[in-house]
């Protein structure tokens, strides 16, 4: 590889993609929730389960977590809000908070997250029931969990699942099914593994960004100067190991859906990721890892 090509690869590392401030704030709440959810050993969970929208072809619906623990399944919506939260009616909650720059009090209306989660569960069970009929009859608890930065005293209900994130483990214990708590059902975990999740990219800044891969294949240039492609439908994940800023290539480790692994060399390449309302472009030099969430799942 020429010096110019090595310099071009080094320059590629200067291109960084980040989430906007609002998305970063929401991601922080989900990260905190994931830490709470996984405290108990043996918890089986998936983040960001998504299903095709039942009424809008080409659109999807999602929740934040689907958790199998204590012998029961829980569908959890995380809300990283600030300020006071009040009920408006059965379908709406009101958020009252101070402006970030001292502008006074702002009022926002949001869909009731508990009702929204119950509706998602109904469609999730119908969707997964196409491949596992027992899932349609499975009871799934709906949970809306708020960060401690919000005052939810006006809507808080532990029995109903309108709680703080810090209460999640206690809620799981409260809904414990002693018959299955110590011997989880393999068919439930297998069905959950088939549920699509967001495609994920971890940048070299260690930031996770979700969305949908806009192509069916990962395309990269190898050390043989040829372009190669790997179908996402056969991949679980790909991780990159850097050889140095001015190296001629990076090493890729591909984990396939059949359990096999392969190491390949990548000179360059790119990924387009579709997010809600925007498209993001990543150079492979700035990607640490990708996880396939849609192409290799039931959809």
d(CA 273, CA 279): 6
Phi and psi torsions of 121, nearest 5° = -60, -45
Cα dihedral: 76, 77, 83, 87 (round 10): -90
User: Does 59 or 253 have the greater pLDDT score?
Assistant: 253
d(CA 123, CA 113): 15
Query: Model confidence at 78, in pLDDT bands (50, 70, 90)?
Result: very high
What is the pLDDT, as a whole number, of residue 6?
Answer: 43
- 3-class SS of residue 146: strand
What is the pLDDT, as a whole number, of residue 3?
Answer: 43
d(CA 185, CA 195): 17
- The whole-number average pLDDT for the span 110-114 is 98
* pLDDT beyond 60 at 69: yes
Read off the pTM. Answer: 0.85
Among 2-6, 58-62, 205-209, 245-249, where is mean pLDDT lowest? 2-6
Residues in the chain: 299
Are 66 and 74 a contacting pair, CB within 8 Å? yes
281: Cβ contacts below 8 Å, ≥ 6 apart = 17, 270, 271, 272, 273
Cα dihedral: 274, 276, 277, 278 (round 10): -30
d(CA 299, CA 282): 25
Structure tokens at 299: 């959809």
d(CA 49, CA 198): 7
Q: How many CB atoms within 10 Å of residue 282?
A: 19
d(CA 207, CA 205): 5
């Amino acid at each position: 590889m020429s010096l110019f090509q090595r310099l071009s690869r080094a320059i590629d590392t200067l291109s960084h993609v980040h989430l906007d401030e609002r998305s970063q704030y929401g991601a922080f709440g989900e990260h905190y929730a994931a830490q709470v959810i996984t405290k108990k050993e043996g918890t089986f969970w998936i983040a960001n389960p998504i299903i095709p929208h039942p009424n809008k072809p080409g659109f999807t619906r999602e929740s934040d977590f689907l958790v199998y623990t204590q012998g029961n399944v829980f569908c959890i919506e995380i809300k990283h809000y600030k300020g006071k939260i009040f009920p408006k009616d059965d379908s709406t909650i009101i958020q009252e908070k101070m402006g970030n720059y001292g502008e006074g009090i702002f009022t926002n209306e949001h869909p009731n997250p508990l009702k929204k989660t119950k509706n998602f569960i109904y469609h999730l069970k119908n969707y997964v029931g196409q491949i596992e009929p027992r899932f349609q009859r499975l009871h799934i608890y709906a949970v809306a969990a708020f960060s401690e930065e919000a005052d939810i005293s006006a809507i808080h209900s532990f029995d109903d699942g309108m709680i703080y994130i810090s209460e999640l483990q206690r809620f799981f214990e409260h809904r414990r099914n002693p018959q299955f708590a110590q011997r989880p059902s393999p068919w439930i975990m297998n069905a959950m593994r088939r549920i699509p999740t967001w495609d994920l990219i971890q940048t070299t800044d260690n930031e996770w960004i979700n969305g949908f891969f806009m192509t069916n294949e990962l395309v990269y240039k190898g050390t043989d100067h040829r372009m190669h492609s790997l179908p996402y439908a056969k991949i679980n994940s790909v991780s990159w190991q850097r050889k140095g800023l001015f190296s001629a290539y990076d090493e890729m480790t591909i984990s396939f859906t059949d359990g096999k692994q392969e190491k390949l060399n990548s000179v360059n390449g790119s990924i387009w990721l579709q997010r809600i309302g925007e498209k993001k472009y990543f150079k492979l030099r700035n990607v640490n890892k990708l996880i396939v969430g849609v192409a290799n799942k039931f959809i």
